[in-house]
Amino acid sequence: MQKNPSLESPELAEVQLTYRSKRNPMTQPQIRDPQSAAEYFREIWDDSTIELSEEFMLLLLNPSKRVLGWAKIAKGSGTACIVDPAQVFKFALLANANSIIVCHNHPSGNLRISNADKAITTKIVEAGKNLDIHLDDHLILTRWDYTSFSQQGLL
């Protein structure tokens, strides 16, 4: 039986994933409700773009609902942002998150939850079920206010 020389080659690409916290997660903020999530997102959001273009962000949480980290998933136009659930869960898996909260802004200032907002939320919920990572909430943020899918009974 002949050996496959490509399997013995030291030039094969090896993929390694790492995650290293800069701080003890127990000292990180605890996200207990939509208000505390909105406050956290406001701290990390670039205030100069909240009314300019739609962006989609992610909070990664441990079992105690303490923040493991955050990530900007996508940036779009003034009226839309394309979100790939695979990108959301790439970060969640890498950080070993037990649950997540997602948030996007409406540059128009309108807090109405659109059908597109509901559709991406459903996709994220379903993907999370398969990975055992719960979507705790989806917030829509404007410069002045926010709305929460969980508070609206949509999760």
- Predicted structure pTM score: 0.84
**Could you read off the pLDDT of 62-81 as tens digits, one per residue?**
999 999 999 999 998 877 78
Give residue 96's region: left, alpha or beta (phi > 0; psi -120 to 50): left
- Give Cα separations from 87 to 19, 56, 111 (angstroms): 16, 11, 25
pLDDT band for 27, please (50, 70, 90 cuts). Answer: confident
In this model, does residue 9 exceed pLDDT 60?
Answer: no
Q: Give pLDDT, residue 3.
A: 61
Following DSSP, what letter does each residue of 50-73 receive, concatenated? TTTS-EEEEEEE-TT-BEEEEEEE
**pLDDT, average across residues 129-135:** 96
Tokens (6 digits) for 119: 């559709």
Residue 24 predicted with pLDDT over 90: no
Whether CATH 3.40.190.10 fits 31-148: no
